[in-house]
């Protein structure tokens, strides 16, 4: 009787045997080496959200232009997520409706003026406009231009003494005069102030008073009032001026 001999299986037989066992048992076999699974090894639609590690998908893994508004959670984007320089001009807004007359510029960043008749009284705070903001000779009464008369710029009784510059009087020292002798007197305003008007007076009543002149001096930007007069009797002459503070 021929004896029973044990023979070692060949490598090919061993691999085939392992594959047969795997097929019959349904057990998965680990693939050899790292990075060995490619797209062809995965059934379409089988990778679920739970199979992806948190924060594993980066911008490089997302196709440009593939995300739509439906892919972004409502109210999740903030100002830090948006490049403001890429935004165009907002065509309109509820609070911008009244701003259409506030500027003639096309964009808010280049706003440099106010449209004609764009600011009304309600838009100006009380006491906000000072003298430095009003051009010389800009306020008239009434306003007459190419259009029809629109009415006075200053309401009746709107300007009182508190709105005017200070007005005061300046009086000269008395100038003694012999009878029928012409003498002069000068009333001078403070430096830098202007004279608005003036006059003169003799200390005592007398007959035959004669005056040569009573006038501001100099004629351009006057700041003093000068007088030359004589009295029929010995007397004292005074000049006085009404001055406007600078």
SS3 97: helix
Q: How remote is the C-alpha of 108 from its chain's centroid?
A: 10
Are the C-beta atoms of residues 240 and 211 closer than 8 Å to each other? no
Most confident of 49-63, 107-121, 182-196: 182-196
* pLDDT tens, residue by residue, 162-172: 667 799 999 99
Q: Which two tokens stand for residue 124?
A: 């100006």
Calpha distance 185→226 (Å, rounded): 6
Average of pLDDT values for 47-67? Answer: 82
**Higher per-residue confidence, 141 vs 175:** 175
Q: What angle do CA 72, 76, 80 make, to 5 degrees?
A: 110
Are the C-beta atoms of residues 48 and 42 closer than 8 Å to each other? no
* pLDDT tens, residue by residue, 104-150: 444 444 445 666 777 777 778 887 888 788 887 777 655 555 544 45
* pLDDT tens, residue by residue, 61-103: 888 888 888 888 888 888 788 887 888 776 666 555 555 555 4
Average of pLDDT values for 191-211? Answer: 95
Query: Whole-prediction pTM value?
Result: 0.41
């Amino acid at each position: 009787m021929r004896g029973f001999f044990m023979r070692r299986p060949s490598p090919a037989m061993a691999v085939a045997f392992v594959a047969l066992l795997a097929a019959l048992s349904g057990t998965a076999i680990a693939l050899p080496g790292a990075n060995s699974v490619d797209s062809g090894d995965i059934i379409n639609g089988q990778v679920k959200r739970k199979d992806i590690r948190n924060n594993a998908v980066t911008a490089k893994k997302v196709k440009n232009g593939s995300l739509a508004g439906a892919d972004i959670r409502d109210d999740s984007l903030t100002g830090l997520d948006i490049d403001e320089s890429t935004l165009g001009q907002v065509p309109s807004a509820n609070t911008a409706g009244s701003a259409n007359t506030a500027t003639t510029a096309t964009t808010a960043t280049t706003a440099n003026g106010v449209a004609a008749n764009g600011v009304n009284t309600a838009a100006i705070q009380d006491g906000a406009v000072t003298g430095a903001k009003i051009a010389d000779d800009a306020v008239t009464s009434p306003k007459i231009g190419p259009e029809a008369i629109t009415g006075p710029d200053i309401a009746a009784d709107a300007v009182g003494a508190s709105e005017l510059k200070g007005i005061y009087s300046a009086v000269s020292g008395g100038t003694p005069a012999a009878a029928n002798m012409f003498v002069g007197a000068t009333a001078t305003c403070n430096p830098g102030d202007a004279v608005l008007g003036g006059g003169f007076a003799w200390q005592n009543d007398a007959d035959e008073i004669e005056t040569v002149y009573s006038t501001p001096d100099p004629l351009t930007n006057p700041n003093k009032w000068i007088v030359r007069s004589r009295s029929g009797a010995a007397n004292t002459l005074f000049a006085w001026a009404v001055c406007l503070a600078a």
